[in-house]
Amino acid sequence: MTRNTWFELLRTGVAIAVALLIGFVVTWLVSESPGEAFGYFLKGPFTSIRRLGAFLEAAVPLTFTGLAVSLVFSAGQFNMGAEGHFFIGAVAATAAGIFFDLPPVIHTLVCLAAGMAAGAIGGFIPGILKARWNASELVASLMLNYVFLKLGMYLITYHLRDPSAGALVSLPLKETSWLPQFTRTTKLHAGILVMFLAVFLCYYFLYRTTKGYEARMTGHNISFARYSGIPVLSVMLLVQVLGGAVAGLGGAVEMLGIYRRFQWQASPGYGFDGVIIAILARNNPLLVPVAAVFLAYLRVGADVMALYADVSAEMVSIIQAVIILLVTAEAFLAGYRHRLTLKEVKQRASAS
């Protein structure tokens, strides 16, 4: 392990510890029995098989959005669209799952492709606005999130709704489109395999292909990238389309594997968690599942805490915000790193 990796690990660890500490202080402020409440939060995900399952299930959509954000962040693009792409991908897969009549496997693949296509279009719009007209992809993608949310709800309400159901939910997806679940107690499903494939492909793209190298170079130093002849504008567009496709795929997998009928009234928030995951994973696709498991742990822990104690699940957002702030703070623990470097230099100097 290089000194740099070691230092980044340490910094992430300290950031998480500080965040949890602040989370505890906040819990202590609002709760009658803070120790118990925080105990539920930390131990919650391990208290039953079903919860352990829920915790791992939640890591699947989070991995997809984490990958999507990693792709765009690698190229220095602040596209926040994963939230909307995930949502519209789920809607597209729902439509394909209801309307098409296809043999098993093929139907599933068509639904996944529909989700990817919807997400890719969602990534393309801010991408082309940025590449052609230099419009801020940040503002554009945030505006699009609202548009996709409204568009998705329109499609569900007016075209895909199950009239026999009491609540606002879509018709059930045809069984031929489902991703099979492995066991009865948990909802762990074959989408996990799709997830690992996506992790591998994103890694392969970023670290083993020329375009991926160009993307990372653009993110690292755009002036240098432009100077060395990298077509930065087309690279910016490409990563946003790919990121959109991956997030849309995530939405589709969630529909086919877990819900099997669309039942969200609001965006489930996986896209913004994807930002935290990308930051924790340093945009490295291979680390994304690890970070996603951690975020899923926080989510499920918070839900268990809200169920049994007098603290609402939103407490976790405080922890998440502190993690983002400290992990991305370049000067956080920089003094320590400086001393570490000095020590090594001195050692080498005295050895020679």
Partner 1 sequence: MHPLLKAIFSASFAASILRVTTPILFAALGSVVADLSGVVNIALEGMMLISALVGVIVSAFTGSAWMGFFAGAAAGVLVGLVLGYFHLKLRTNVILAGIALNLLASQGTVFVLYAVAHDKGVSSSLPSKVMPEVQLPIIKDIPVLGPIIGKQNILTYMSLIAVVVIYLFLYKTSFGLRLRAVGENPDAADSVGISVHKVRFIALAISGALAGMGGVHLSMGYVSWFSRNMTSGRGFIALAAKALGRTHPIGAFFASLLFGLTDALSNYMQSLRVPGEFIQMIPYVVTLVVLAVYSGRQLKSGRFSNE
Binding site for partner 1 (CB under 8 A): 26, 30, 78, 80, 125, 129, 132-136, 138-140, 142-144, 146-147, 150-151, 153-154, 157-158, 226, 233, 272, 275, 279, 312, 314-318, 320-322, 324-326, 328-332
Residue 214 CB, nearest approach to partner 1 (Å): 15
Under 8 Å between Cβ of 77 and 248:
no
Residue (42 or 233) nearer to partner 1, CB: 233
What is residue 148's three-state secondary structure? helix
For residue 292, the tally of other CB atoms under 10 A from its CB is 30
Residue 23: how many CA atoms within 13 Å on its side-chain side?
A: 28
Dist CA 232 CA 102 (whole Å)? 41
Cα dihedral sign for 331, 335, 338, 340? negative
Structure tokens at 197: 């494939």
Residue (211 or 226) nearer to partner 1, CB: 226
Residue (10 or 325) nearer to partner 1, CB: 325
Residue (52 or 222) nearer to partner 1, CB: 222
Residue 11 CB, nearest approach to partner 1 (Å): 12
Burial class from Cβ neighbours inside 10 Å (0-12, 13-18, 19+) for residue 331 reads exposed
Residue 281 CB, nearest approach to partner 1 (Å): 14
Spatial CB neighbours of 10, under 8 Å, sequence gap ≥ 6 = 333
Residue 244 CB, nearest approach to partner 1 (Å): 15
What is residue 161's three-state secondary structure? strand
Residue (108 or 145) nearer to partner 1, CB: 145
Residue 30 CB, nearest approach to partner 1 (Å): 4
Residue 116 CB, nearest approach to partner 1 (Å): 22
Residue (101 or 314) nearer to partner 1, CB: 314
Structure tokens at 100: 């098409």
